[in-house]
Chains A and B, each alone.
With several copies, the nearest count.
Chain A
Amino acid sequence: MSEFAFLNGNEAVAWGVRLSRPHVIAAYPITPQTKAVEKLSSFVQNGEMDCKYLHVESEHSAMACSIGSSSVGARTFTATSSQGLLYMSEGLPYASGARLPIVMMNANRSIATPWNIYGDQMDAMHVLNSGWVQLFVEDAQEALDMVIQSFKLAENHDILTPVMINVDGFVLTHTYEKVEIPGQELVDSFLPAIEKAPHLMNDQDPMSLCISAGNQHYMEFKIKQHRDMFKVFEQLESIDRDFEKSFGRSHGGAAAGYRNEDADVILVTTGSVTGTARVVVDSLREQGIKAGLVKLRLLRPFPSDDLFELIGKAGAVGILDKNISFGFEGTVYTNVNSSLLQKGYRGRTFNFIAGLGGRDITKENIEEMFSALLEQKGETVQYFNMGCAL
């Protein structure tokens, strides 16, 4: 039986995990992820979840324990953020190369130094090459639902790739909203017990894992991994369709448009800022301005086809980046541009850097972005809500 609750994003994730019945959780606390692991610990300490919870001594070990438990076929969850994500970053390509279906929440937060605990997406961008599926959610409900979907996706025998669910720090992790918690029976039938993949350790046919491959073999392992990742697009859509059948809610595939079909100008977003942008788009539409949005739900694999289709004939595209690659530009921008160049897109693209270190992104900021697009004015890379001149 489903029920409603007033939860923050962290708690919603914890509920998604609880309902997915993982065998093992290994995690290390870090703001703003803490409430998620605290909630999970309390489920475990109260006997509401039957699961091994490993209180590891660091994130590097959180990932390593996860690698261990996933290697024997146990459903495994972990969660981190920011410095923690970087500290475990050796383990990320390790796990993806081994094709271990670990699911992780990353509570998006800025990176030191200066230290700052607030939300931007710099952490996720640091590990974009790690071979993990990188998913971004927009609200607490989606966070909960995508945990369940992610296990299904990661464990699919065609995919067998770990999934990172990015949940904007504070803005989502600490904001309470009404969330529907699906009934356990429903989840159980949607997400059955994990089916152990044949390449993992097992007693019948012992396996050697995380082996070494010389220059004669390595490249094929990696290209296989790379090509398999593209299967995520189709699987995600099909999982979401099934999800809708079971739960009556759906979240879409790799990318989603909002009032984009006839848009003259489009803003590309990831994560929670999309919601604020919707408000702005609606008000611009009321003023007769054809503004639209494209939300990227996946950054890896990168949905070039969907993106191009959704952008259609918009005359200018702005990419809102809550991150920056020092000495270049925002990373989503770089990715989108590459994809658009290949598709032969001929409009102009702008990069809007905003929200670093939790700097508020106001509706006015987003209006400014749209007017930069409409008038095609200003620098290619622009900074928003700065407290001083450049």
Chain B
Amino acid sequence: MLKEIRWHGRGGQGSFTGAKLLGTAASLHDGRFAQAFPSFGPERRGAPVLGFNRISDNPITDRSEISLCDFIIFLDDTLWNERYYDDLKKEALILINTADSSLANERIRTIDATGLALDVLGLPIANTAMLGALAALSGETVTREALVEALKSSLKPSVLEKNLILLEKAYERF
């Protein structure tokens, strides 16, 4: 069962790190298959950028771009736009990092990931929290346990502990 995910962030914000962690978790720790790939343009730090994931139980050979998604994740609410509804598969969800929970609706879940991150890490780095939220929304896409392993294998010890807490907190929001 194939899940396709798109991340929206700004250059330098770490959206692709999120996609990499997700892929690592799914493929190395959930025993599944995953791709993670960035979009990449000549625009610089600060410009809007995209990241992508495919996660599946079977080997993934498809190399085309992802157009319709199971999840679209926004690391920043200013990036969200109504036209992105068109890019959703049936039953797909949008996950937005925002303090403004009024954005939430049938297709949209919100979480104040930056707020959480500031609380826990003291830094406005939202991606770990977004991963926790994703795991909560769809264990089929990635399990919390795999994300924990992925964080352990990818992060520097100095920041690991707090990120694990952050992951947990975000996970519990849903």
Contact = CB atoms under 8 A, between A and B. Distances in A.
A6 B22 CA distance: 10
Interface stretch (B27-35, B81-89, B107-115, B118-126): B27-35
A178 interface: yes
A364 to B, nearest CB: 9
A178 B30 CA distance: 12
A332 to B, nearest CB: 17
A214 B41 contact: yes
A174 B40 CA distance: 9
B23 A176 contact: yes
A4 B28 contact: yes
Interface residues of A, number: 30
Contacts of A174: 37-38, 40
Contacts of B36: 6, 175-176
A278 interface: yes
Interface string B22-66: 011001100001111110111000000000000000001111110
Contact of A117 (B20, B34, B37, B42): B42
Contacts of A138: 61
A272 B64 CA distance: 10
Interface string A1-13: 0001110100000
A219 to B, nearest CB: 14
Interface string A268-285: 000011111011000000
B64 A361 contact: yes
Interface in A163-191: 168, 170-172, 174-178
Nearest to A170: B40
Nearest to A275: B61
B65 A362 contact: yes
A6 B65 contact: no
A329 interface: no
B34 A362 contact: no
A6 B150 CA distance: 10
A306 interface: no
B44 to A, nearest CB: 14
B37 A176 contact: yes
Given A170-B40, A175-B37, A178-B33, A278 B24 contact: no
A78 B65 CA distance: 30
A178 B24 CA distance: 8
A9 to B, nearest CB: 10
Nearest to A5: B28
B27 A177 contact: yes
Contact of A272 (B23, B28, B38, B63): B63
A274 B63 CA distance: 9
A276 B64 contact: yes
A174 B41 CA distance: 13
A229 B121 CA distance: 59
A126 interface: no
B35 to A, nearest CB: 6
A363 interface: yes
Nearest to A118: B40
Contacts of A362: 64-65, 67
Given A175-B36, A175-B37, A6 B63 contact: no
Nearest to B61: A275
Interface in A231-272: 272
Contacts of B62: 275-276, 279, 363
Contacts of A278: 61
A175 B63 contact: yes
A117 B64 contact: no
Contact of A175 (B28, B33, B35, B42): B35
A139 B27 CA distance: 15
A297 to B, nearest CB: 15
Contacts of A275: 60-63
Given A174-B40, A177-B34, A178-B33, A279 B24 contact: no
Contacts of A5: 28
A39 B64 CA distance: 26
Interface of A: 4-6, 8, 32, 117, 138-139, 168, 170-172, 174-178, 212, 214, 272-276, 278-279, 360-363
14 contacts: A6-B23, A6-B24, A170-B37, A171-B37, A174-B40, A175-B63, A177-B27, A177-B35, A178-B34, A274-B61, A279-B62, A360-B64, A361-B64, A363-B62
Interface of B: 20, 23-24, 27-28, 33-38, 40-42, 60-65, 67
Smallest CB-CB A-B distances: 4 pairs: A275-B61, A175-B37, A178-B27, A6-B24
Given A117-B42, A275-B61, 18 more contacts: A4-B28, A6-B23, A6-B34, A171-B63, A175-B36, A175-B63, A176-B20, A176-B36, A177-B23, A177-B27, A177-B34, A178-B27, A214-B42, A272-B63, A273-B63, A275-B60, A360-B64, A362-B64
